[in-house]
Amino acid sequence: MSNDIAARVKKVTAVLLNVDEAKIEDSSRFVEDLGAASIQSIELVAAFEEEFDIEMDEDEALAVKTVGDAVTFIAKTIEEQKG
């Protein structure tokens, strides 16, 4: 399941940040490596909520720094909400 989540996270990130999806790694940091501005971080949270049909705690979600951490955070949130 988390491979599917990772693929979807990378797709959403690539579209929103206008970055080549092939260049997005699990270790990629949203701000430092992918160039996300603070407003885009908020947009990413909203896009992930929509993509996965979940509600994320905004403060916790904005504390997530890497793509891999986002995948883990989203997987945990899905488990809690759909479990």
Domains of the chain: residue spans and CATH: 2-82 (1.10.1200.10)
Counting other chains too, the contacts that 4-11 makes at CB distance below 8 Å and 24 or more residues apart are 5/52, 5/71, 5/74, 5/75, 5/78, 6/67, 6/68, 6/71, 8/51, 8/52, 9/48, 9/67, 9/70, 9/71, 9/74, 10/67
pLDDT (0 to 100) of residue 29: 98
Q: 36-74: per-residue pLDDT in tens?
A: 998 999 999 999 999 999 999 999 999 999 999 999 999
Q: How confident is the model at residue 1 (pLDDT cuts 50, 70, 90)?
A: low
The model's pTM: 0.93
